[in-house]
């Protein structure tokens, strides 16, 4: 049975630190209650990461990372919608039906989510372009530009400058993506809203609640980074936790009529 969604952006409460803690607690509870769905939706994300890492290592060609820029933003939002739907069903006391949950995720392809994915991809590709520009600016004339084997290049003055500038610019791009997606993704799953309005709402929400939302961004970044270290396998825990928690954070601030 297809769910009828409400239209328009709901009124949103101010975000407080206790909401972040509560979101993580509820996210963990949902993950424990639905391990099969956690494994299923996280597997798609982990599999792409492992394949891309293997191909890059096998060929020594870092241009495969371009496919990562396209692949991860495409899979990520749809995997997140799976976690959102599981949390929504558990919260309402509804039975988890695999066909229905997967159907909800598939139907997102006919709504506004693909448009949001396109924006994410454009930001990623633009970041890749800027990253190459930064590399060329600081190390383009270096005689040791094989970053796959000449790691000592990073200890030079130009190498350290490249890392510093790249980190700052990369963090800015990551923050931009966070600001336009942190609320817009669960909002698009919850209601019939155009993707532009959803992104604006998400951006404004972060601007109105800068301290707790920056802290939330740090939590997401830290957990994701740690989870990727053991061959992406930690994402089997981090992705479900953050996916469910993101829904519960949105659910806490969305005022229902």
156-189 tens-digit pLDDT:
777 788 888 888 888 888 888 889 999 999 999 8
132-163 tens-digit pLDDT:
788 778 766 655 555 555 556 667 777 788 88
Check residue 6 and report its DSSP letter.
E
Least confident of 63-72, 124-133, 207-216, 222-231: 63-72
DSSP string, 122-155: HHHHHHHHHHHHHHHHHHTT-S---TTT-GGGGG
Q: Which two three-digit tokens encode residue 244?
A: 């469910």
Average pLDDT on 205-218 reads 94
Q: Which two three-digit tokens encode residue 229?
A: 């270290």
Residue 27 CA, distance from chain mean position: 16
Check residue 1 and report its DSSP letter.
-
Give all strands (DSSP E) within the chain, no chain letters.
Answer: 6-7, 191-192
Distances (CA, A) of 2 to 51, 80, 106, 108, 185: 34, 19, 12, 12, 19
> Quick check: 242 and 224 in contact, CB under 8 A?
yes
- Give the residue carrying structure tokens 């997102």: 108
**1 — pLDDT class (breaks 50, 70, 90):** very low
Measured CA to CA, the distance from residue 89 to residue 36 in angstroms comes to 15
Measured CA to CA, the distance from residue 129 to residue 3 in angstroms comes to 41
pLDDT of residue 218 exceeding 60, the answer is yes
pLDDT of residue 21 exceeding 90, the answer is yes
Measured CA to CA, the distance from residue 203 to residue 104 in angstroms comes to 26
In 3D, which of 161, 158, 126 has the Cα closest to residue 144? 158
**CB within 8 A of 244, min separation 6: which ones?**
26, 27, 28, 30, 31, 83, 86, 87
**87 — pLDDT class (breaks 50, 70, 90):** very high
User: Residue 127: its pLDDT value, please?
Assistant: 80
β partners of residue 12: 254
Q: What is the pTM of this model?
A: 0.82
Q: Which two three-digit tokens encode residue 122?
A: 């454009």
């Amino acid at each position: 049975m297809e769910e009828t969604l409400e239209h328009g952006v709901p009124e949103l409460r101010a975000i407080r630190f206790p909401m972040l803690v509560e979101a993580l607690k509820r996210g963990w509870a949902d993950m424990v209650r639905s391990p099969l769905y956690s494994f299923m939706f996280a597997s798609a994300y982990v599999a792409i990461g492992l394949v891309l890492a293997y191909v890059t290592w096998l060929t020594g060609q870092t241009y495969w990372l371009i496919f990562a820029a396209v692949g991860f933003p495409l899979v990520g939002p749809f995997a997140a919608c799976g976690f959102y739907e599981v949390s929504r069903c558990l919260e309402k006391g509804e039975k988890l039906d695999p066909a229905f949950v997967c159907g909800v995720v598939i139907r997102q392809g006919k709504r506004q989510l693909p448009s949001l994915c396109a924006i994410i991809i454009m930001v990623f590709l633009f970041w890749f372009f800027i990253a190459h520009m930064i590399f060329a600016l600081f190390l383009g004339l270096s005689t040791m530009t094989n970053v796959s084997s000449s790691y000592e290049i990073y200890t030079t003055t130009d190498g350290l400058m490249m890392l510093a500038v790249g980190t700052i610019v990369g963090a800015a791009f990551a923050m931009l993506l966070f600001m336009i997606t942190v609320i817009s993704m669960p909002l698009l799953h919850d209601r019939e809203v155009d993707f532009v309005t959803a992104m604006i709402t998400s951006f404004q929400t972060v601007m109105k609640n800068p301290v707790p939302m920056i802290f939330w961004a740090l939590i997401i970044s830290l957990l994701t980074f740690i989870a990727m270290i053991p061959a992406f396998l930690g994402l089997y825990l981090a992705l479900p936790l953050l996916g469910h928690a993101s829904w519960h954070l949105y659910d806490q601030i969305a005022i229902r009529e």
